[in-house]
A and B are shown apart, each in its own frame.
Chain A
Amino acid sequence: MANIFPKATNVIVIKASFVLSIVGLLAVIAVWYYFTPKYSRVGYQPVQPVAFQHDIHVGQLGLDCRYCHSYVEVSGHSNFPATQTCMNCHRQIQANNPKLKPIRDSWATGQPVAWVKIHNVPDYAYFNHSAHVNRGVSCVSCHGKVNEMTVVWQHESQSMGWCLQCHRNPENYVRPIAADKPGEQSPIYNLDWTAPPGKQGEIGRKLVHDWKINPPKDCAGCHR
């Protein structure tokens, strides 16, 4: 009986398995990447109920982060401003701007504005803002240069591996709390502050030593 398959089919199996394994590998890599926070989170830029522009308020007008996020130094949760905070200025400034109607409505009715959450730390992770901003971690480290964003997007992946980069080597990220010169803004809240070129390591190591910075690297630091 003659061979049903020509001889070339012997090689096809090998070739096919080679190609399939590469395709399979690529598929795994693609799905893997698709599900990482780097892909799924970074760049998330939802439409907010009010077109609040950080670049105008912070970048141009020079508002401190803490004017609105007022409890960041004392609470684990960095609060969103109450409508009242907006109305402090917008009772006079841009008082009839149609873009601010949701704010005025909220003020009149007492119904809060439902801002869309961008940075979402899972419920089983307990991130504490006050522990970071009081210990030399600037807002910019996790949120990017919000002072240049018209509409805020997620700048960092904020995955656990990303957190641990800093928790393992804090000297690469921490900065002084006190302003370089009296009257200047604290480097924590000055999002444009950078260490003098080549000096971050030196500054960081000094701060880590002086402040006894020893960030938790075990589970219980964040997971309770």
Chain B
Amino acid sequence: MKRIFNHPPAPTTGKKYWRSLEEYAATPEFRAKLEREFPQGAAELDGNEVTRRGFMQFMGASLALAGLSLTGCRRPELHIVPYSKGVEWQIPGNALHYATSMPRRGGAFPLIATSYNGRPTKLEGNPNVPGYNGSTDIFGQAAVLDLYDPDRSKSVLKALERGKDYEEGTWDDFWEEFAILRRDYLKNGGDGLAILAEPSTSPTRERLRVELKKQFPKLQWAEYEPWGASQALYHDLEKADVILSLDADFLGASEGNAQTIAGFAAGRRRLGKTQETMARLYCVEGRFSLTGGMADHRLRLPSSSILGVTTLIAQKLGAGSSGGFAAFSDPAIDTWVTEMVKDLSNAKGRSLVICGSQQPPQVHALVAQINETLGNKGVTVFPQFVPRLIEAGLSELSEQISQGTVKTLLVLGGNPAFNAPADLGFDGVLTQVEQVIRLGLHVDETSATCTTHIPAAHFLESWGDALDYRSTYLSQQPLILPLYDGISEIELLAALAGWPKAKGAEYIQETFASLTGIAASSGKPFDDAWHKFVHDGYYAGQLSFPIEGGLNGMMGMGSTMGLQKAADQQVKPLQPGEYELNFILASVDDGRYANNGWLQELPDPITKLTWDNALYVSPRTASTLGINIVPPNNNSADTLDTDFNPRTTDAFAAVDPMSAYPMVEITTPDGRKMELPIIVAPGQHDQTLTLALGYGRTAPALTKAARESVTPSLRVADKAGFNAYQLRTTTTPGFVTGVTIKKLDKTYPLAVTQEHNSMEGRGIVREASLDKNHSDPTWVQEIGIDKDVLQLNATGGVVKGLQHVEDGKMVDYQKYQPVYTPPPLYSPTNQPDRPAWGMVIDLNSCVGCGACMVACQAENNIPIVGKYQVLRGREMHWIRNDRYFASDNPPQELNTKADPAYLDDPQMLIQPMACQQCENAPCEPVCPVNATVHNEEGLNVMAYNRCIGTRYCANNCPYKTRRFNFFNYNDRPIQTVDITMPLIGKQSVGELYLGPLAGKNGPLTYKGSPDSIALQKNPNVTVRIRGVMEKCTYCVQRIEEAKIGQLRRSNNNDEGSGDISIPTDSFKVACQQVCPAEAIIFGNMNDENSKVTAAKKDERNYGVLAYLGTAPRTTYLGRVRNPNLAMPGAQYIGNTSIFEAPEKKGEEKPAGTDHASAHKLNREKLTV
């Protein structure tokens, strides 16, 4: 019998959970989209991918060629190529693991690299180094792709015509010239020589700097980092009971946040341990960040008001002098601040105040005083040891260049021509220098200003060392010889210092000897210590710092952008009607990862935007600008921006007009203008506009070969987003106030993934307040219709009091026919002697950083698909982070139009969603070829080779977690290229599989996917081609490896234990291993001691859509919020949809303090 499950109607009162504005407003377009198996257009090949005529020609040519060679009919001769000499430790087929570290601006990050036959394939956190929990973040995960980036700089380039034409030079010539350069500058003490480097915590580089200063006393050493270069503090969030974030997105996916997320999540997990307390988070911010989403109380205020609020807090706390700044005075937020300050003072020594690095030094100084008053210094706040203060920044260097005192400039890494403050005009400044030598990973904007460009080595290709954020000394060892002939910064500086060329780690060994005090001449003690250092990845002993300049424990004065002195940084208060532009860093960081496809395609955690940046504005602001809040929010879909991509211009509009976003022009007070697409972001402050830096890279084609190439110089970063640095100046590094905004009659296509794979909101995410959790521990089971379904089965399907629409009128809800729900075939108890794999995701600690998505991509050979494919809903991520907003249901009459009043201040919930491994999996019975079946351990497995691509399974999956390879993404370009084909001529090729025509042996020299990318693939996972369905497998390759490893150990020559059961929690799946919050728990449910067994017993454990009888193996722990009951609006925090919203009568809350009140005051004034 076909089982029809009519869901009861969603409650019309109380809270509503929604994933996008379309869903909130329930537009007809959204309904139509929801009911489709795939997003519109995903399953169709339209004329824009390739013309029909082109396709026929193409296929004809392919067939003719295939017929000529007849290679397909014969057994191809394959070869096995062993080593000629055995390689130490190397066992073909087995992985080796090496400790190394990734240099970062706030201190290096410890990593363990997995290497197969000499090629690193995966990076994991180093669990031995204290402070990280063995976790990584998105950048650590994606770094391995950067190593194999085919667009990396590959040779020395010498200018024929600076900025325009370059020729390839040789290393020998370069070194010869460099030796002459050194000799000349030795004569005059380095007069006219300058070095521009990125700040680094490498003691070896510091040693070199000191050495160079000795040899060249007049050398100018400048450092520049576009964002938060010298954060002088680090925080221990685990010890904090009350945390206040002042515009600090310490849970966002940016550098240095793995450790803060780990600490914060530990504070939230106290709930699980004691069932009593957990850390409480207050957040004051202008845009809706992940930190704001995790906050128990969130106050929307623009960044420029933070100084005033901080002053107010300092005054209320009596923290030192308030710095002479005017306190923010708004009676509306007075209660909020007063109660929050009370809470902070009650938690003296157990609290923490953090401010964002985009805030001016005045705020940092005030926050330092506040933390001192609260007794947090040395408990939750620690000074980060940096070797010294930066002696010169970009401004100083710029000045000297203008005065003509710099003759030769070495630019080590970075990309100042792209990311320098706009008012310096630094790319122009660079061209004034007679000789600029540039060491860079890519030929980029800065390379175009230099006289010589030399390729840099990736950190996985070079020796190095660095301190991490808590001054742990980390080693950095190469995993592979430089793929593209690059050298490291240390090697270049050592050559300048005249040090003998190192064969290996000599420079680092010398530093190690001096730092640890173990003399290199001591022989064995040194060798042992060194080997332990390299093996463990860090040095556990005490370090001495003989580095000149000593240490500056800069408590408090965490200078923000390293751009200028505190006095220059003006904070102008925001006038009504004015806007403030906030700069943030997104997944490409400051632009350095712009050519990394994994990071470009990683959706922004909140707006779900990929491949671009856009201006985020609040719904109310959008309304004021005359823009529809709900997409399609352009009123002129036919005027798509034609600059974007000639091939796709019409396609976007034809495929999905909802992807056409309106454009606006913003103007800063100093007259800088920029045209940008906008995204309406609920929860944003009305006067705050937010824009991510690092996009809009324009890589030049400098050589003849590059100009003739069919691909752009940076093929991933090309045309991705807009360069926000052109609005950023030395005096406004964090935010600009007084910005004006104007709507343009233009649109721009943005690839936003939010609605793809929507699930209707039926108790999918569940949350409660801490109080509710105490008074009613089983709350999680009473949400949604799980409880109803049980009752329904008992009462014959009639729900009392629930109504739904039938034939246009409301009738009692009784459609549901109770049917027999089969018992799960694969429940753990059915196979007690086998492991039963299961997963629990703790929504209470998950912050939504997205590291699991990148880790899954790296582990499981998941391809990137490109912007155009994402637009059509063909993205391939096996795990996605669903972001839900929660706000009050608007009254019925408003239900079809989004009222900005209800969107002002929603709450946010994040839920990672991958294949749920249902015990009664709906995907299995519909597969005509048994390609997806269950195994005895409860996995819903995919046999890719069996799959014929009917996509019935994806259609039948209630969780929408299956992904289909519409194309062979692993062998296909992500951008359109024009190639010349024999017989056919020039043809524009996009996503088309080039088949035997492409590659080395085909007549086309152009190949879809570069060879170097293939080196990254995990050899234990099949690389899928087109026409195959795929999904999360619980990392079955890791499971099998663990099982086989145990078999090997147990029975080898009858000497083993004979025990073939896998030791408890002895391995981790990729998303679990990376998670800094430890929110993902995976293991054997038939093992009583495993963590997952314990987690499944938690009262907050629930299965998504479990009432369908799917019996998912992945379950969730409900989210608990910890509101301070004395705060305004506290009773609205952590309410779930089943609870009746508290009666709002008789209590007027100040405007802007919560979502439930403001709209009542303002609804009449609004025109939507």
Residues of A within 8 A of B (CB): 40, 44, 46, 71, 73-77, 79-85, 106-107, 109-117, 120, 122-124, 126, 128, 130-131, 134-135, 177-178, 186, 210-212, 214, 216, 218-221, 223-224
Contacts and interface: CB of A to CB of B under 8 A. Distances in A.
Contacts of A123: 1022-1023
25 contacts: A40-B75, A44-B75, A71-B94, A74-B91, A75-B92, A83-B85, A85-B86, A113-B82, A114-B81, A123-B1023, A131-B1044, A177-B1052, A177-B1053, A177-B1054, A178-B1053, A186-B1053, A211-B1058, A214-B834, A218-B935, A218-B936, A218-B941, A219-B943, A220-B1036, A221-B935, A224-B1033
Contacts of B944: 124, 223
B83 A82 contact: yes
Interface in B418-445: none
Contacts of A131: 1044, 1047-1048
A224 B1022 contact: yes
Given A73-B1048, A75-B93, A219-B935, A116 B81 contact: no
Contacts of B1058: 210-211
A72 to B, nearest CB: 10
Contact of A75 (B91, B946, B1022): B91
B79 interface: yes
Q: Which 8 pairs from chain A and chain B are nearest by CB?
A: A77-B93, A218-B935, A117-B78, A220-B941, A80-B82, A75-B93, A219-B943, A83-B84
A74 to B, nearest CB: 6
A216 B935 CA distance: 9
Nearest to B79: A114
A72 B933 CA distance: 31
B174 to A, nearest CB: 28
A135 B945 contact: no
B80 A117 contact: yes
Contacts of B94: 71, 74-77
Contacts of B86: 82, 84-85
A41 to B, nearest CB: 8
B1021 interface: yes
Contacts of B82: 79-83, 112-113, 115
Interface string B1025-1052: 0000000010011011000100110011
Contacts of A109: 84
B1020 A224 contact: yes
Contacts of A126: 1020, 1037, 1040
Contact of A220 (B91, B1033, B1052): B1033
Contacts, number: 142
Interface string B1095-1139: 000000000000000000000000000000000000000000000
A211 B934 CA distance: 25
A40 B1051 CA distance: 36
Contact of B1052 (A73, A75, A110): A73
A186 to B, nearest CB: 7
A213 B82 CA distance: 33
B520 interface: no
Contacts of A75: 91-94
B918 to A, nearest CB: 16
Nearest to B1044: A131
A134 B1056 CA distance: 10
Contact of A112 (B83, B93, B1021, B1048): B83
B708 interface: no
A79 B92 contact: yes
B939 interface: yes
Nearest to A40: B75
Given A77-B94, A114-B80, 10 more contacts: A77-B93, A79-B82, A112-B84, A113-B81, A114-B81, A115-B80, A116-B78, A123-B1022, A177-B1054, A219-B943
B1033 A82 contact: no
Nearest to A103: B84
Contacts of A115: 79-82
- By DSSP majority rule, is chain B's interface helix, strand, loop, or mixed? loop
Contacts of A83: 82-85
B77 interface: yes
B1051 A219 contact: no
- By DSSP majority rule, is chain A's interface helix, strand, loop, or mixed? loop
B1168 interface: no
Contact of A84 (B84, B935, B946, B1023): B84
A145 B1008 CA distance: 45
A73 B78 CA distance: 24
B1051 A135 contact: yes
B1037 A224 contact: yes
A80 B1052 CA distance: 22
A77 B77 CA distance: 19
A224 B1017 CA distance: 14
B945 A122 contact: yes
Interface in B201-221: none
A139 B171 CA distance: 52
A71 B1048 CA distance: 12
Interface string B1050-1079: 011110001010000000000000000000
Given A75-B91, A80-B80, A223-B943, A218 B933 contact: yes
Given A218-B934, A220-B935, A220-B941, A124 B1022 contact: yes
A123 B964 CA distance: 20
B85 A224 contact: no
Contact of B1051 (A111, A211, A223): A211
Contact of A124 (B934, B936, B945, B1040): B945
A205 B1052 CA distance: 19
Nearest to A41: B75
A130 to B, nearest CB: 5
B1047 A111 contact: no
Given A83-B85, A219-B943, A224-B1037, A117 B79 contact: yes
A46 B1051 CA distance: 36
A134 B84 contact: no
A205 to B, nearest CB: 17
A110 B86 CA distance: 11
A156 to B, nearest CB: 16
A69 to B, nearest CB: 10
Contacts of A40: 75
Contacts of A113: 81-82, 84
B1048 A134 contact: yes
A132 to B, nearest CB: 9
Contact of A223 (B936, B1022, B1048): B1022
Contacts of A135: 1047, 1051
A123 B84 CA distance: 25
A80 B307 CA distance: 68
Contact of A71 (B84, B93, B1039): B93
Contact of A82 (B85, B93, B1039, B1051): B85
Contact of A46 (B77, B933, B1047): B77
A110 B1053 CA distance: 35
A110 B85 contact: yes
A224 B1058 CA distance: 27
Contacts of A114: 79-81
Nearest to B1021: A224
Contacts of B935: 216, 218-221
B1054 A84 contact: no
A74 B1044 CA distance: 10
A71 B92 contact: yes
A40, A46, A177 pick with most chain B CB within 10 angstroms: A177
Nearest to B1056: A134
Nearest to A74: B91
A221 B937 CA distance: 11
Interface string B72-106: 00010111111111100001111000000000000
A120 B689 CA distance: 59
A120 B78 contact: yes
B843 to A, nearest CB: 28
Nearest to B1018: A224
B288 to A, nearest CB: 39
A71 B1051 contact: no
